Amino acid sequence: MSFKNKPRKRAYHRAVSIDHSLYVWAGHHNKLPAVHDSAEKRRITSYIQHFTLSTGQWITRGTTGTPPLGIIGYCCTAINGVLHYFGGECGHDDCYHNSITQLNTISLQWRELEPTDATRPVMRRSSSGMISFEHDEVDHLLMIGGGGSKPAVQLPHYKYAESQRLKGLWCTNEHSIYNISSRKWSNPSIIGQCIPPAYDFIIEKINNTRAVLFGGVETDDDDTVTNNIYILEISISTVSWQCSV
């Protein structure tokens, strides 16, 4: 099968599937200007690539509104046809985000729920894990771990450490929950054996309250690529971890 209109080469992006199709946005590629914000960056990031399995065709779709600035290593998850983007790296210096932005895949309009705020007790980061869950019929996002800027606030229940190998990169196992309806942030307590500060792992939902986490770079003493598997039980106030090494 040959795919028409293949999207440009890129890395550190996320591809999210909705109804037998796939959405790919931004990521790292050579054409993106290494700046915080510019008309050129906005122009490039206002397009999304949409792949439909039945036709084998990529379509470049234009969006309206303002796309987020965290274009590399952001998190993305779909809830009822709406893509939710969290964090990411800007692409210049050590600039990381903790913003949350929605993209409606029908109207293709961006909507910023939370701008990046360095003083918010949510570490600005990329290469985190994000899943959604429902509690009392309200959708929530749970963001775990990642690497980014030195945190302005270090929350007591989580760990923060500067990477041994990548100076200036701070890693965490911070858990942040975001209520999409009330737009309130909270931090669940950890039960059991949680990952140390880590990034670039995979997290996938098993059902509404369970998820599995695999691999990544753990930064306990040194930066170590792992094959650890964890099962997570998620509630509104706790995340229960079980490691099956």
**Site residues (vs Zn ion, CB under 5 A):** 36, 90, 95
Q: How far is the CB of 97 from Zn ion (least distance, A)?
A: 8
| CA 218/CA 209 separation, integer angstroms | 24
Q: How far is the CB of 40 from Zn ion (least distance, A)?
A: 14
Q: Which is nearer to Zn ion, 90 or 130 (CB)?
A: 90
Q: Which is nearer to Zn ion, 33 or 192 (CB)?
A: 33
Q: What are phi and psi of 154, to 5 degrees?
A: -110, 115
Q: Which is nearer to Zn ion, 34 or 191 (CB)?
A: 34
Q: Which is nearer to Zn ion, 66 or 209 (CB)?
A: 66
Q: Which is nearer to Zn ion, 49 or 126 (CB)?
A: 126
Q: Are strands 198-199 and 170-179 parallel, antiparallel or unpaired?
A: unpaired
Q: How far is the CB of 69 from Zn ion (least distance, A)?
A: 6
Q: How far is the CB of 15 from Zn ion (least distance, A)?
A: 24
Q: How far is the CB of 67 from Zn ion (least distance, A)?
A: 14
| CA 170/CA 162 separation, integer angstroms | 4
